[in-house]
Amino acid sequence: MKYRRKNGSDTWHFCTNCSKWPTSDYVERDSKPTTGELDNECQAKENNGTCSKKQ
């Protein structure tokens, strides 16, 4: 599963359908980030089962 953050931001996104999912100028990693924080919107989607993840 992929995690992305915008360059210069410390908030990680993991739902491709997040309104703030970075599509340019981002850093991507494929394991859970150890620094920064996870986006609230992504976590809300995860909790209600509407998070689309990129494998």
Residue 24's contacts (CB-CB under 8 Å, 6 or more residues apart) are: none
**Is 42 one of the binding residues for Zn ion (CB under 5 A)?**
yes
CB distance 9 to 26 below 8 Å: no
User: Would you call 11 exposed, middle or buried from its count of C-beta atoms within 10 A (0-12, 13-18, 19+)?
Assistant: middle
Closest to Zn ion by CB, 34 or 52: 52
**Is 51 one of the binding residues for Zn ion (CB under 5 A)?**
no
**Is 39 one of the binding residues for Zn ion (CB under 5 A)?**
yes
Task: Give me the least distance between CB of 44 and Zn ion, in Å please.
Answer: 9
Q: Which residues bind Zn ion (CB under 5 A)?
A: 13, 18, 20, 39, 41-42
